[in-house]
Structures are given as C-alpha cells and as structure tokens.
Structure 1
Amino acid sequence: MRRIWCFFLLLHLLIEPLHANSGLKVRIMQKGLDYGKKIGLEILKQRLKEERFPDWRGQEKSGVGDVDYVLSGISIKTIEFPDASVSLIPGLGIKLSTQHAYVIFSANWSIRTWLFKDHGSCTVSVSGVFVTATFNMSQDSTCHPSISLASCQMSIGGVEVKLNGTISWLHKFFTKYLENPIYRSLDTNSCPNIRQGIQQIDSQLRMLQVPIQIDAFAQIDYCLVNSPEVFQSYIDLDLKGAIYPVRNWTDLAFVPAPFILPDKNDSMLYLGISEYFFQSASLAYYKAGAFNINIAEELSSYFNITTKTFGNIIPEVAQYYVEAHPARLNLMIAAAPVVSLQPDAFAVEICASMEVLAVLPDSTSQSMFTVDITASSSASLTVFEQKLIGSLCLNRFQLSLADSRVGFFEVSLLENFLSYVLQNGVIPAANVKLKNGFPLPSLDQVTLLRPVIKVNEGYLLISTDIDYKL
C-alpha cells in the first residue's frame, strides 16, 4: 500500500513555525486530489503486479499434527479498488478509504506433515478489503514538508485458496491451513506496513532540494513558511518564494505583502505568485550584475556603431571626432527594476545610465557622454516546460544628460536612436535571459495542463490542471 500513499504526495510536494506571509501560494483543490487518487491507484496496481514477494512459510496445528506450509513465487494477477475515495479533514490532513477492494494472486504451495507431504500451484482470492487511513501534513524544523500516519483501520472479508495438487481429496481439508495464516498476515501487517511506508516517504521529504538554482545568477527558495492548512475542499501551502543571488542568502530588506487567492474551483491547482517574488528576482539579478550589458556587442549583428553614427545626430560629437572611431555603449542599471502588478498589467520601471565611449586606435576608450534613462516596460508571461517565462516590451523612456566630454547638447536628438537601440539591443538581450524562466514547484513526470495566467493587484494567478505520465 506504500505507493498509493506516496502518490498522494504528488500534490503535497508542490510545497518557519510562526505564521508568516509567503511569496508564493499553492492551492490544491479536491479535483486535484481526485486525480491524484486515480493516478495513484494505477501506479499501485502496476507496481504490485510487477513486484516479487518473499516466500510465506510457517506452521499450523491440526488434528493430524503440525502442518508445515510454504507459499512461494507469489505473483499478483488482479487487483481492484472499486470504491476508493480521498477526502480532506479540515485542520488535520487527508483521509483515504477503500471498500470492497479485492486481489487475486497465484503462488506455488507445499505442505508437509508427519504423515505425508504435497505441493502444487494455487490461486488465492482476497475479497472485501476495507481500508481507512488518515495522515497529517506539517513542516519540520528545516521548513521541509512532513507527513505522518494519524490512524489506520483495515478489515478483510475473506480469503479463499484453490489448490491444484496430486492428492485432490486432501485439498479441501488443508486449504484452511493456508487461508488462516494469509488472513492473519494481511490483517496484522497491513497498517504497520503503511506506517513504515509513510515514514520512508517522510525521510525522503526531508531530503528535498527546496533551494533551486535557476541559472548562473540566481537561485529560488521554495521553503515552507507555515504548515499546510487543510480546509473542506482544498489545501493551502505557503512557500517563501524568494529569489537570491547565487551563493548570497542575505535576508531581503522587504517582506511579502499578504494576498488571498480567489474562491475558484474549476482547476486542479492554483499558484499565486506575489510582487515580492518578482521584486526579489529583480534585486537578485541586479546584485549579480546580470543587467549590465555592452549594447554595441548586442547590436553587432545589425550594424556597427561608431562616433560617426552619433555625429550624424549630435553635431557636437561630429566636431569633436573628425575621424570615425568604433563606439561602445555600456548600460548600467542604477537600481533594481521595480515590479508592479495591477489588474491585467505587469509593469517594470527601470532606472539606468548609459555611457557612450569612443574606442581609440590604441584600443583605449574615451567617454563621450553619459545619459540617465528612466524607462517603463510591460511584461507578458507564459508557462512552458514547468517554467514561468517573461517577455518585456518597452512602453516609454526619458533621457537626461548626466555628463558630456563633447559639450552640452539636447538629449531629444538621441531619443529616436536610443529607442531603436533599446528595442533592438537592450530589450532582446533581457528577454534572452528571461527565456531561462523561473522553475515552478513540480515533480518528475508531472506537467501543468492548459495553464491560464491572470495578473491581479499584488499577485499573479496561474490556474491549471496537471497531467502525470505513467
């Protein structure tokens, strides 16, 4: 039974002892639990049919003396759970129950008494299996998810053994000496085996890698900040959802604002991603220097930028540099871009400076001028291969002259050119980095199915079903 419990963690794994606001919320609906039950039972049946069980051997008392028995080569042929259900117990956890389950397995048998011995093959039918078990969900001291078995009950309607051997008139007499130990073993060991399986799963949960490296610049923390909250029709999981520069886990100076997921139930799973998540990402990439780029290199596939390029639009540059020299544009972000989420609008405000330099014949560079840039962009978001992927689009920008070697000039002369530079150099370069995406909480063989993204005030909502590949 261990694997069926293991699969019900499929949804739970998508997830400090004090209550804290989270940067990311996961809501698992009853629809998702029902899907988990369906897939979990299929996995369990497939695994049990492939498993090879150890021999059962023992001794029974009879009117003709002790009966030594052995069941070997046990192989499950049929197993069904016609009335299995999974439900939520508010404030506690998940309840799994199954009624009228049955299993048929084949085996080789042998019996030995002081009077005779016999062997052959047999078919064993176990019917009327009833199991009810509940398990608690919590978090451990390392903010990993934890699971424990709260209660377990099991009963068996009956066990029937059909023997095929060489002394047929004795078969009916001795079947009870095989049926009784099979019944006792199932009745005595099933719940302890479930508990042992849950303990093994809990040990595996403690080894989950909650910090996940995104790329060379940043890593994301999916640590639980609270114990999972169980309600009548859904489970809420609060994750830290913060992004840090690689090898720099300094606590952020800002905290996530609280937000509440909407009351919806048409999807299996809901992911709420707050401004805090995106703002921490912005700060992490800023600290890692990911936003500082050489624009001339980014534009080299389009055209070469020279002092003559600027001289054509700024007379002061043409007067200062009579001969054309290669030019280099260095973009430096002055502060981490500010992310703002409003209904149906994902906005990013950027403050930067751009230094334009001339590359002289001796390979040294000489600053021509520096402009300050304030830009506003919007982002479109998609989910692809379990990652949240963004794409920026420049809406507007303003320039001001910060420093000039060539003398004062009107920055309005630069606007059209820099608009082209930003649209064809800076924004595409940023979008290349954004294509790496932010990995969403997920498990192997699980994909998000038909995800829908909606931007709300203060957070992003992803509504999705899931698909598990057996």
Structure 2
Amino acid sequence: MKVCGLLFLLSLFTPWLDAKPGIKVKITQKGLDYGKQLGIDFLEQRLKEQTFANVSGQETFGFTGADYTISEIKVNAVEFPNASVSLIPGTGIKLEIKDAAAAVTAHWRADNKIKGRQPPVYGTLSPLEIGNSGKMSVLISHISLAAVVSVSQDNAGHAVLLLESCKGKVDRMHIELDQDTSWLYKYFANHLEKPACDSLSNNMCPFIGSEIEKINAELREHKVQAQIDSFAQVDYSLVNSPVISSTSINFDIKGTVSPVGNDLETPFKPAPFSIPEEINSMLHIGISEYFLQSASLVYYASGAFDVSIAKELSSYFRLTTNSFGTIIPKIARSFKTPCPVILDLKPTAAPVIRLHNGSAVLEIAGSMEVLVVLKNSTTRSMFTLNIAARTHVALNIFEQKLIPSLCLDR
C-alpha cells in the first residue's frame, strides 16, 4: 500500500519535474560584479533614506549613570571600499564586505541617575544636569559582513531569496558631542561606544534579513505574465529553482506566449536546450523554438498576420490592373482604364520557425487574394494565389542594435 502511495505521489510531481523552459537566462560572475555595484549604490541610497527608530536605554559607570534617548538618526555617508560577490555551487550567492564605514548624525538626550547618594549641587544644577541634550555625530568604521543568500522559487514561479547565513561586526565607533556639552556627558558618550558597537553588530544581519524580505515582497507583487501588445502576453515564471554553479546562476523560464487574458495550451512541448559555457559576457539569454512557435501560433490565431496591401504601397509604386499586363494579359485587357489593386495576404497555417546555428528558418504557408477597386469604390476578386515560402533570417549586432537579414530561399 505504501509503495502504491509513493508511486501516486511521484505521478503527481512528474509533470513538474519534467518541466522544460522556453527561455533560459544565465548571469555570469562578470554580471554579478556589475550587479554588485548597482546593489551597493542601491544600499547606500536606502541607508541614507532610511528612517530609524529611536534608541533608548540606560547605562551606568562608577557611581553614576543615565537614561538616554537617541533620535533623528540619519546616515549621511557610507563607504564600501572592499565588497565582493561570489557563487557557491549548489548553495547560493555569497556577499562579503570589509572595512566599510559610515558617518551618522543624531539628537541625544540623557537624564542623570546617581547610585547611592544625591549628586553634589553647584548652585541649582548638578553636573549631569548641564547640557543634557544636543546633537551628536558618529563615525563608524571597520564594518564587516559575510552573508550567503540562496535563490529558489515559490508556487507562483517568482524568484525567492533566503538568507542562509550571516555574520556582521562593527569594530570601531567614535561619538562626538557638541562642544558646549558637559565633559561628563562626553565621558559618558565615550563609555557608550563599546555597547553601541555590540548593538550594531547584533542588528546588522536582522537588517539584511528585513531588506531581503522587502525584496521578496516586491517580487511577489510582480505578475509572472507580461503583455507584449494587444495580441499576446508572455509567461516568464520560473519552471524550477535557479541552478548555481561556480561560474554562473541559471534561470529556467516558462517562456510561453499566449493570447491576452487567456492561457494557451500549445500542441507542442519545449525541447531541452542549453546555453554555451562562455563567461566573458555578463548576461546570456537563450530563446527556444518553443517560445517562437507559441508566439507564431498566437499571432496567427488572432489574425495579426492578415495584411491588406493598398495605400501602404502607394508611396513606393502604384499597383494597378495594368501592372499585371505582362503576367496575366487578360486582366489588363478587361480594364481599359487602369484601376487600383489591393492584395489581401493571409496565412493558412501558423508560420513554422526553426533555429539553426547562426540563422533561423521561417516557413510560411498562405494565400494572396488580388482584388480590383472599381469606380464605385467596391472591390471584386480577380484571382487567388496559394503561397509556400521558405526564408532564412541571419541575426547580427550592429552599433548595439539587433539587425535581422531576411533572405528568400524558395
């Protein structure tokens, strides 16, 4: 009975396990290095815009101490001189930051706490009651962080980031209070530097974790289907979890084109294909015949390939009944006064697209109806041609543009 249950579960998961992508995306180490700089710029901006909660606590030293509150915390500058991103095969992406630094400003307030006896009074003020609030500047240096983030997928096909491990440390901090602040408060601020370093060290990884959760929330909000135009949409959900090697991270994307608002069940399935192992580029995108064929089927079914050629050609040449005089003399003789001609082109089947090394082959089956426009503006069909054409398309990159060259084979 247990064996039957196991076989039943395997049968349910077989379609998922056998899922093949229509599009592949490969990000190399070179691409990660470029993304690292974008990520650092993003993190710097995020830290500068971040609104931090007030920090309150109590600190004692010797016979005295104070309750303190630090508010209006603002990061003015951040530096990441030594940052690296590397791949851990089968695990995830490792981020390392060394010798980072930050400059922070804030407002502080402290209320004195004297242990055991009342403070000496000078006039009407105790020493700790002099200058018990003001501005502060903090220089944080020797910040290090090592974190490993894995990449997987959720049930909807979104990418999901997970913080697998994290270790952060802040070694040095220098707190500077206003010049007119009491020396005792300045001494108290120096006493706070060590516990503040420990607090920051303990909160670095939770901060990274919360930022990753924000990214995941943004990823979940994005639809896995994008509309191409009024006819078609493409499904770019992940068909399996990304595969991470020592040189790249690979995403398998469904890549099915369907009519807008509908999921199309194609009569064909994607075939396995791979992207060459080449690491000099940052990004590789592999497009399969399945992707192109599903697009061809959608556009054919929607009538997007149906073309009526009339005024579109008038700027290049004027097509009239006399134009057919050398091909079909009877047409020219039937109309003493030349009349305009319209060509209605319609495919009789979805164009077939096959990919080969260096080029793509396009096979088109269709019909061309030739109509004459009479004096009363009505049209009359003269004849119809059935067309079977085979072309090949070569793709070239010129001045950062993808240029297709179309050649008719037969």
What's the TM-score bracket when you normalise by the shorter of the two chains?
Answer: 0.7 to 0.9
Give the structure 2 partner of residue 441 of structure 1.
none
Query: Do the aligned partners of 1:121 and 1:163 also contact (CA within 8 Å) in 2?
Result: yes
The structural deviation recorded for 1:267 is 0.8
- Aligned 1:416-431 pairs, distance under 5 A: none
Which string of whole-angstrom CA distances, capped at 9 and with x for unpartnered residues, describes residues 32-63 of structure 1?
11121122223322443454534323222344
Give the structure 1 partner of residue 21 of structure 2.
22
Give the structure 2 partner of residue 34 of structure 1.
33
Query: Structure 2-normalised TM-score?
Result: 0.84
Quickly say closer, same or farther: Cα 1:74–1:80, change in 2 above 3 A. Answer: same
The structural deviation recorded for 1:96 is 1.0
1:242 aligns with 2:241: no
Give the structure 2 partner of residue 159 of structure 1.
173
Q: 2:340 aligns with which of 315, 318, 326?
A: 326
Query: Do the aligned partners of 1:220 and 1:243 also contact (CA within 8 Å) in 2?
Result: yes
Query: Do the aligned partners of 2:106 and 2:136 also contact (CA within 8 Å) in 1?
Result: yes
Give the structure 2 partner of residue 195 of structure 1.
209
1:142 aligns with 2:117: no
Provide the secondary structure at the position in 1 that maps to 2:369.
Answer: strand
Counterpart Cα distance in 1 of 2:370 and 2:379: 10
The structural deviation recorded for 1:228 is 0.4
Provide the secondary structure at the position in 2 that maps to 1:197.
Answer: helix
Q: 1:259 aligns with which of 269, 273, 279?
A: 273
Query: Structure 1-normalised TM-score?
Result: 0.74
Provide the secondary structure at the position in 2 that maps to 1:209.
Answer: coil
- Aligned 1:279-294 pairs, distance under 5 A: 279-294=293-308
Give the structure 1 partner of residue 327 of structure 2.
313
- Aligned 1:40-439 pairs, distance under 5 A: 40-114=39-113, 115=126, 116-117=128-129, 118=131, 119-166=133-180, 168-381=182-395, 391=404, 393-397=406-410
The structural deviation recorded for 1:269 is 0.9
Bigger drift between 315-324 and 268-277 goes to: 315-324
Equivalent residue letter for 1:57: S
Give the structure 1 partner of residue 120 of structure 2.
none
Provide the secondary structure at the position in 1 that maps to 2:324.
Answer: helix
Equivalent residue letter for 1:145: A
The structural deviation recorded for 1:326 is 3.1
Identity of aligned residues (%): 44
Provide the secondary structure at the position in 1 that maps to 2:87.
Answer: strand
Counterpart Cα distance in 1 of 2:44 and 2:268: 49
Counterpart Cα distance in 1 of 2:309 and 2:186: 88
Which string of whole-angstrom CA distances, capped at 9 and with x for unpartnered residues, describes residues 373-411 of structure 1?
12222334467999x9664634144xxxxxxxxxxxxxx
Give the structure 2 partner of residue 421 of structure 1.
none
Quickly say closer, same or farther: Cα 1:248–1:121, change in 2 above 3 A. Answer: closer
Counterpart Cα distance in 1 of 2:167 and 2:407: 62
Aligned length: 381
Quickly say closer, same or farther: Cα 1:224–1:383, change in 2 above 3 A. Answer: farther
Which string of whole-angstrom CA distances, capped at 9 and with x for unpartnered residues, describes residues 160-197 of structure 1?
32333435542453124532552343133222222122
- CA RMSD between the two structures: 2.7
- Rg bigger for which structure? 2
Counterpart Cα distance in 2 of 1:164 and 1:325: 92
